[in-house]
A and B are shown apart, each in its own frame.
Chain A
Amino acid sequence: MLDSVLKSISAVTEFILSISTLISLFWGTIKQKKIDRNMAATAIVSLILLCILLFLSGKSEQFFWNSLFIHTSFSVHSKIILYCYSAVALFFLFSFLAEYKIKQFEWIFIAIFVVIGGSVALSSNHFLTLFIGLEMSHLSQYILVNADRDASNTNEATIKFFTINLISTGLMLFGVSLIYGFTGTGFFNTVYYFFESYSSNFEYAGAIVGMMFVLMGICFKLPIFPFHAWIQDLYQVSALPIILFIASIPKIITVFSLLHLLTYPFHGAFICWRYLLIGLAIFSMIWGSLMALRQQNLRRMFACSTVSDMGFLLIGPSMGGDFGLSSAITYIIFYTLNILGVFSLLIVFEKNCHRLNDIRDLSGIIKEMPLLSGIFCFLILSFAGIPPFPGFFAKIYILESAINRSAYFIAILSVLITVINAGYYLNVLKFFVLKSSALKINKFTLSEKYFVKVMIVLIIIALCGMVIFPLKLLEIVQSIAVSILF
């Protein structure tokens, strides 16, 4: 009895989440119109409970809902990671939104809808399910980024974000229709067999073109170099809690969807998408790093560095094999945790002095909050990928996968990019640690200061734990990678 319930749990995860969210939304509308501690707690607890349930559910492959949904080790584990990180991100979002005068309670639910959409995308077995999932999560994001709608330029950035992502949606849908037209199906497992049985006929070439469009659509959302134009403005004008959410959770969703696509339906066309991804990876690394190097604005710098880091991540899957795949998964696990830590600290800093725009606004904080500043330095160095900080360990797996395939050019290029990255991250440290300033710093005013501190420390402990005791993590990652490659 219990077994059968657990087995079907992944079919109804999204249902449970959506229904509970809708009920609390309804309740919130009737009762009050402010962010409520209980609502956020309910959402976070339900995410964690779903995590546990998913963890207990079997790992055998199953299909649900007319084979539109799939239950594999990959989907289960990626959803677990998504839910865990969403719980952390929602916690921060909830803790900080009120501080930014964004008191409407809907924002927290819109954020949950991002997670639900992502969850649908991650367990999809059909291009339409994937599309619906990704679109659902992105539609919620368009609303979310405009939460702070009284601030100047937010609307402009939102419209930019919306329009550019619409193009990506169009491209992706076009690609899906091409694939459907040439293969006659939209199911991943059938498309998988179509691509596996290579032939040089017209249908195959058409489906390849469709695949390219789908991948480009995904690259818009990551973002990867020529499709990145929305990210800088968005980061610059949005409120930091929103950026924290946008920079972390959609990344997980998109990266895992991309990995799912690459290794499941498009696996047979490895030779075709490999060079596309390598090219995109190289350009986004170079562009992202060089642009980040000359940014004076802290938020724009993080936006550019995101482009560079996502390019770095693409190297993993483009090297193929379970090693390349698991390296990318490890990287995104470390990277997102890092993002959550850095942005939550930036919010704490911003709430205690003034709006952080330029990098030089950071100076002077270290004297007032030495412990949190130490953690911030730790995370920045981790971003830069300098040993012995956690980010370095995430990077070496990707480098190792490149070396494994004798892709020396890419390996050398990516370590050079790492050096450039170190340059602008050290620039942050330069203003943060080495330069003093006579800024006026308020006392710690956050109402949830205790829990926020605890959560930040937990993030650090998790990062260090994954470095010092990496075996369990690597085991899980390896099992995910092997499971989707059969």
Chain B
Amino acid sequence: MDLRTKYMGMTLKSPLVVSASPLSKTLDGIKKIEDAGAAAFVMYSLFEEQIELEQKELFSISTMGSESFAESLSYFPDVAEYNLGPDEYLEHIRKAKESVSIPVIASLNGKTTGGWTRYAKLMEEAGADALELNIYNIPTLTELKGEDLEKNYIEIVKSVKDNLSIPVAVKLSPFFTNLANFAKKLDEIGTDALVLFNRFYQPDINLDELEVEPHIVLSNPTEMRLPMRWIAILKGRIFADLAATSGIHYGEDVIKMLLVGANVTMLCSSLLRYGVEHLKDIQEEMIEWLEERDYESVMQLQGSMSQLNVADPSAFERAQYMKAINNYVINY
């Protein structure tokens, strides 16, 4: 079975890509990703804000209480060199490139326009094959208009694209008034791929302490419906490649995503839950399904059920929601 697919100009041996996750934090982890059969992987994200925070924190720690009391003018030795911020990440890219043969896609969450481009360039220089921009923030200002926010995003992506020669993907959240329009805008400035969708970690409340706490929940298969719908809608309407992520757990999930038009499928939660070896199972399930139905290649399948290619395009539209409710069977 020819599992090859194209993603951002790269020919990948299969559509199975490991998304940005702790799995790529160590070189060992990356080697395991390759050994399990991934066609590529997205490195865990570098957060510009975190880099700044860490630097400021280290500065604060190393100067805390200093030059204040005659006997203790400092509290820490002056260390020769610190592995701060991007250095560690960039070194990780370099080492990953040396260690594995599959493409390395770096991932960046910037804060400032300058930061986005500066770090993106550094990642390219470190050897990343492609870059995924992890545009990840929750706008909370009531005065901030949606159009201004979108404009800002477009500027960031454009600025990165203008400065880089490697392909650039944008990982999006689903929360846009008209996602299709925004996707088109990104497409117009040459974005090489859209990754649908970013899952925001939703905070929880600790009832004992009455505190808001981060609460990380792994995705479940039902979550794949949202990206699946939007990939179906966007396929054929924009030039950018499409990567599906969220809730892809089994071979059948991958097939569904490919059917609606995904160039690649990105996996994380299922691998965290079942181990990175699970990739092999997924691939086997995929092959089984394709072979049973006499498909020759993945490319043959891709987009065959996009909105443009299905008999009832409205099935992917809002009316379908109403229908779903009407058809819902109450089991109690």
Tell me whether A and B are bound partners.
no
